[in-house]
Homo-oligomer: A and B are copies of this chain.
Amino acid sequence: MALTPAQQTVFDVLSDAEGPLSAAEVLAELKNHAKTPGIATVYRALNAGLDSGTYVAVTLPGDDTTRYEPADRGHHHHFACTQCERVIDVAGCPGRLSPLVPDGFTLTGHDLTLFGLCDVCA
């Protein structure tokens, strides 16, 4: 599946990011590039990536905007800085979640977000 120029640009930005970006952040990042696409084009590129399985959507607590990141990063979680609002990936996983699940429930997945101060803000 060949990428359109706009899709390629968006893909580059997401690949270079150290965590999931919102559509607005992608657009802001693209402002640094030679050519800035319209917001509609950004959303179309992001949704095309979701459809093709290239990206996954990420929603963080307390943040009502959808974020996107490449789907090939494997299982990981996120750290959200409460000061600068930057979101970065963190490797690893607490594991041992089955004991938390009530009787009769089936656990198929989980999502963990850490909050605190990033290295810049700390």
Contact = CB atoms under 8 A, between A and B. Distances in A.
B92 A105 contact: no
Given A59-B60, A61-B59, A101 B119 contact: no
Interface residues of A, number: 43
Contacts of A99: 92
Nearest to A103: B119
Interface stretch (A1-9, A33-41, A108-116): A108-116
A104 to B, nearest CB: 3
A48 interface: no
Nearest to A119: B104
Nearest to A88: B102
A71 interface: no
